[in-house]
Structure 1
Amino acid sequence: MSTAELLTLENTAVVLDSTCDPPDGWLDQPGLYMVPLKVHFGDQMFRDGVDMTYREFFAKLAETDILPTTSQPTVGEFLAVYEEARAKYDHVFSLHISGEMSGTVRAAEQAAEQVGNVYVYDLRTVTAALALGAERLRARLEKGCTLEEAHAYVRHYRDNGRLLIHAATLEYLRRGGRIGRAASLVGGVFDIKPLICAEDGVLTGYAKVRGLKKALAAMERFIDEHSKPDDEIWFCTIDAINEEEPPLIRELIERIRPNAHWVFQGHVAAVVGTHIGPGTSAFAMIVE
């Protein structure tokens, strides 16, 4: 096969929506595009990750009694980004939040029907698990891969990527109506915190724990359930204004999985933050 037939970073772009909660500066790389969802505080509207940083969002959330709401991008907004990307790149992979959580991916699919060589995927997850999938796809593009190899990897990530969230509270999910199968974790004794995972595209209760030590033990159990000790794992840590826990999660994963590779620290931004609130930590992982 000739080099001209390979997908590379030079001829292939990746589009995400703003629920990908990436690390600072990550989206500045060539070939990465982001379509923002919107956050509404009463009559005020902000484009997630564009008009408001994640720190500004949580500061505003703390100072207001208004419960923010969120809305998805329009078909036209996706279409504009796809046309911009296709003007520079031959292929576009568009990776998005679970269709069970948002109608975003359906808007992306409708826009993609109007532009050639745009491949839309529902990754059936949320937050920086999306950015991790994009980063691992781009690692293959950096080396060069066929179109089918790129599709095969995205399907592998969609079907095998894992996300575990240690939420400070489920109150925001309950109020926003996005609690899914995690409803069983609501309530209970003071200081008991829920762990929730993305399963079949839905947020699902995994465990209720008291204290960080037991939370880390539950995370270790989750990792054991989804990988073997000698597996090669790529993972990211994630926080919503919680600087204490992500380094401890990273330390745990690197201790129990010698072949683990930490990729980045993602930050929960406005749209996801509306539904999970501050104080949350999480990690996403994929076995390759």
Structure 2
Amino acid sequence: MKKPLAWITDSMGFITEELKEHPDVYVVPLNIHFGQETFEDAVDLTSEELYDRLRGAEEFPKTSQPSAGKFAELYNRLKEEYECAIAVHGSSRLSGTLASSVAGAEMADFPLYAVDSLALSYGMTGLIERGFYLQEQGLVPEKIAAQLQNETVDFRNFITIGNLSQLYKGGRMNGVQYYLGSLLKVKPIVQITEEGELAPIDKVRSQKKAMQYLVDRATESYREHGSSKFQILHANVIAEAVELREEILKVVPHAHILIGELSTVLVVHAGEGTIALLWRSEPAIYK
């Protein structure tokens, strides 16, 4: 007898220990290219190895989505064991991974319900965790996927970029923004919008002010919506992430704050030193 539902995601998400150990969760890695060398994200390249390579790289690395054929291989295996799957992927405005996943399922003739998270990192993870809850409540896969797609608007995120050069060379910032940012030594604050696009929303003149900016946004959400679950994702700056957590706890003493590392494929674009603060501005019934 087949299992009712598999869960698919990709390495742009924050892969918690729960997801790693979950028997029905499958993570498809993106690719990182250094010249002629290709590595599977979080499979062939550790975060330490990535930072070493980034510091010494003469040529800026590139990333690419998994091919439809890669997904088809997975779905051909899964259709022997599962009735269907729900796939939660990184924003389709920032990556073609969702399209590859859907194409791979069609090639394998495997029933797939695709959710465009319109997010990255824990924005994807939170939807999957929410999906587990809905599955436990007895919702059918089609309704779970539809509900998750509706809930993407609850996602909130503020990101301080660690390396303007990497963001610029990766095509996420135009030349004028990069020139002015470098000239003025500003730290841009960017956000993944409700439409799933990366957009600059503010800028500050120091790391200290950038951290205070994040604390202020968490404070506002707590006071307006009662938000008390936050995620801090960092690119090799654990001390700053811990400091940010402590500052938020001064305002929201009972907050639950997760600290984790950004996936290597995201670090390629955002750069070492990046810090992201994420949470869901959600109705109380979700908590």
Please list the CA deviations of residues 70-109 of structure 1 after superposition, one character each: whole Å capped at 9, or x if unmatched: 1111111112222333433333111111122111111112
Check if 1:174 corresponds to 2:134: no
Structure 2: distance between partners of 1:95 and 1:118: 11
Tell me which moved more, 27-36 or 136-145. Answer: 136-145
Number of aligned residue pairs: 277
| Match for residue 86 of structure 2 among 65, 74, 93 | 93
Partner of 1:51: 44
Structure 2: distance between partners of 1:41 and 1:223: 37
Partner of 1:19: 12
- Classify 1:83/1:206 alpha carbon distance in 2 versus 1 (closer, same or farther; 3 Å): same
Partner of 2:123: 129
Structure 2: distance between partners of 1:158 and 1:104: 17
- Residues 96 and 105 in structure 1, CA contact (< 8 A), matched pair in contact too: yes
Alignment of 1:53-202 (within 5 A): 53-114=46-107, 115-142=109-136, 144-147=138-141, 149-179=143-173, 183=177, 186-190=181-185, 192-199=186-193, 200-202=195-197
- TM-score normalised by the chain length of structure 1: 0.83
1:120: how far off? Answer: 1.0
1:149: how far off? Answer: 5.0
CA root-mean-square deviation: 2.8
SS at match of 2:238: coil
Larger relative contact order (Cα-Cα within 8 Å, sequence gap ≥ 6):
1
The structure in which a higher percent of residues are helix is 2
Please list the CA deviations of residues 18-59 of structure 1 after superposition, one character each: whole Å capped at 9, or x if unmatched: 111424674232111111111111111101111112222112
- Residues 68 and 104 in structure 2, CA contact (< 8 A), matched pair in contact too: yes
Structure 1 gaps of 5+ residues are: 1-9
Percent identity between the aligned chains? 28
Structure 2: distance between partners of 1:183 and 1:126: 23
Structure 2: distance between partners of 1:11 and 1:231: 36
Structure 2 gaps of 5+ residues are: 283-287
Structure 1: distance between partners of 2:221 and 2:229: 13
- Classify 1:188/1:137 alpha carbon distance in 2 versus 1 (closer, same or farther; 3 Å): farther
SS at match of 1:121: strand
- Classify 1:112/1:276 alpha carbon distance in 2 versus 1 (closer, same or farther; 3 Å): same
1:118: how far off? Answer: 1.1
- TM-score normalised by the chain length of structure 2: 0.84
- Classify 1:87/1:257 alpha carbon distance in 2 versus 1 (closer, same or farther; 3 Å): farther
